[in-house]
């Protein structure tokens, strides 16, 4: 393959290439981006979706012998994974290597150029420092890939937006010298960029980013609250036993429910064999969109306040924003869309 675009994400990773005006995404066997998760069983490495399924509970970092989002560990000298000292650079290398291998196999299935990947343009959060970037370069180098350039994730999204328009020149002319707000609210981070497009060049005015309100944090909060509400409704005490893998299965249901509630008013969450040693071992709960917004309102407000703070610090009013480009999975939440439409107007979002 030629130089690829590599989105090494907190939750999922994806490799893409541009051929002519067409973007080709290289996904896993299931057609989805690859989870940024690695599991170590002795000398065996399990990466991607299979590793994610083995997680005992939600959350970033190290859980037993499994590392979810090694991206957050970069910058540390070492970490312990089930008692074994490991380098975060080596852990990231294992994920990068696997994603690259999956991309080559995906290319073979498509009948496209499937040569090993040796060069990549890599997206990064806006808040990363020099030490973090150096560690990421080392990880990619150990995986046999040279990083040609880093691109902030919001700018990559804006680049993608302009280059998928039917008339790129007309789109650039329409927003020439206009203020554009881009936010990438994904599974791990919320990244914000306020920029101005001048003669086809993107000039960054102000950036902000946080890892406190990512989608994974939402999923964990929903999981915790559903367990609490079910326990309260069934009068279960704190000593009731929960199956070792039950939290992992529930957090997957919560993630799916959060997505489904973008288009539905309510969803049924059901996990068989959740509890242990009680007559009814299943967990069942009907979650409404209103309840979802109530449960997650502290995180929603925290993230949305970062957007307003960015504009205030730049002395920019919402009315001055010509376009707000919302990307990342969290951008699909109706509560977030509603607030953006209120601030900027639907036609500018």
Summarised one tens digit per residue, pLDDT across range 106-128 is 877 666 666 789 999 999 988 78
pTM of this structure: 0.81
The three-point CA angle 275-246-333 to 5° equals 120
The three-point CA angle 216-121-13 to 5° equals 25
Query: Percentage of the chain surpassing pLDDT 90?
Result: 52
- Per-residue CA distances from 47 to 50, 253, 256, 316 (Å): 7, 21, 21, 44
- Residue that has been written with the tokens 């074994």 in this structure: 84
Residue 58 has a pLDDT of: 41
Q: How far apart are CA 200 and CA 175, in angstroms?
A: 9
The three-point CA angle 327-292-185 to 5° equals 15
Confidence of residue 299 (pLDDT cuts 50, 70, 90): very high
Confidence of residue 138 (pLDDT cuts 50, 70, 90): very high
| Mean per-residue pLDDT of the chain | 88
- Residue that has been written with the tokens 């299935």 in this structure: 109
66: closest CA among 197, 288, 79, 274? 79
Residue 238 has a pLDDT of: 81
Residue 232 has a pLDDT of: 94
Mean pLDDT of 131-144: 94
DSSP, collapsed to helix, strand or coil, labels residue 32 as: coil
188: closest CA among 54, 9, 310, 49? 9
DSSP, collapsed to helix, strand or coil, labels residue 312 as: helix
- The strand pairing partners of 321, in sequence order, are 179
Summarised one tens digit per residue, pLDDT across range 19-47 is 776 778 888 777 888 999 999 988 889 99
Q: How far apart are CA 174 and CA 197, in angstroms?
A: 10
Gyration radius of the chain's alpha carbons: 21
- Cβ count near 173 (within 10 Å): 12
Q: How far apart are CA 152 and CA 241, in angstroms?
A: 44
Summarised one tens digit per residue, pLDDT across range 51-75 is 887 764 444 556 668 887 788 888 8
Summarised one tens digit per residue, pLDDT across range 201-258 is 889 999 998 889 988 899 999 999 999 999 999 999 888 999 877 887 898 889 889 9
Residue 349 has a pLDDT of: 95
Q: How far apart are CA 175 and CA 261, in angstroms?
A: 33
Helix segments in the chain, DSSP class H = 49-53, 88-110, 130-142, 153-163, 168-174, 215-233, 246-260, 289-313, 334-344
| Residue 319 burial class via C-beta count within 10 angstroms: exposed 0-12, middle 13-18, buried 19 and up | exposed
* Number of helices (H), then strands (E), in the chain: 9, 20
Residue 316 has a pLDDT of: 96
For residues 38 and 47, is the Cβ–Cβ distance under 8 A? yes
Pairing of strands 61-63, 84-86: unpaired
For residues 216 and 10, is the Cβ–Cβ distance under 8 A? yes
DSSP, collapsed to helix, strand or coil, labels residue 93 as: helix
DSSP, collapsed to helix, strand or coil, labels residue 141 as: helix
Pairing of strands 321-327, 179-185: parallel
């Amino acid at each position: 393959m030629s130089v690829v675009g590599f989105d090494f994400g907190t939750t999922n990773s994806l490799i893409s290439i541009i051929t002519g005006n067409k973007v080709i995404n290289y996904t896993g066997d299931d057609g989805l981006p690859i989870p940024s998760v690695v599991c170590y069983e002795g000398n065996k490495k399990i990466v991607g979706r299979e590793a994610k399924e083995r997680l005992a509970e939600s959350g970033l970092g190290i859980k037993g012998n499994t590392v979810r989002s090694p991206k957050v560990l970069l910058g540390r000298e070492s970490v312990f994974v089930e008692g074994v000292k490991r380098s975060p650079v080596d852990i990231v290398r294992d994920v990068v290597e696997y994603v690259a291998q999956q991309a080559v196999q995906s290319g073979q299935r498509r009948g496209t150029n499937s040569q090993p990947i040796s060069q990549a343009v890599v997206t990064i959060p806006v808040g990363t420092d020099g030490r973090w970037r150096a560690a990421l370069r080392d990880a990619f180098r150990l995986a046999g890939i040279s990083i040609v350039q880093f691109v902030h994730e919001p700018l990559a999204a804006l680049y993608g937006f302009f280059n998928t328009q039917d008339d790129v020149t007309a789109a650039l002319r329409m927003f020439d010298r206009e203020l554009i707000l881009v936010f990438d609210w994904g599974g791990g981070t919320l990244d914000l960029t306020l920029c101005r497009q001048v003669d086809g060049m993107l000039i960054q005015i102000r950036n902000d980013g946080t890892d406190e309100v990512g989608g994974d944090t939402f999923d964990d909060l929903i999981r915790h609250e559903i367990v609490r509400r079910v326990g309260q409704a069934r009068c279960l005490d704190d000593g009731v036993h929960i199956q070792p893998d039950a939290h992992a299965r529930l957090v997957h249901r919560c993630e799916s429910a959060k997505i489904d509630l973008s288009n539905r008013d309510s969803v049924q969450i059901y996990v068989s064999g959740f509890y242990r040693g009680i007559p009814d071992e299943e967990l069942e709960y009907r979650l409404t969109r209103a309840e979802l917004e109530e449960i997650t309102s502290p995180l929603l407000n925290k993230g949305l306040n970062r957007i307003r703070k960015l504009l205030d610090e730049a002395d920019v009013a919402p009315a001055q924003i010509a376009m707000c480009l919302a990307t990342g999975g969290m951008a699909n939440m109706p509560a977030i869309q509603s607030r953006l439409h209120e601030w900027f107007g639907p036609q500018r979002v």
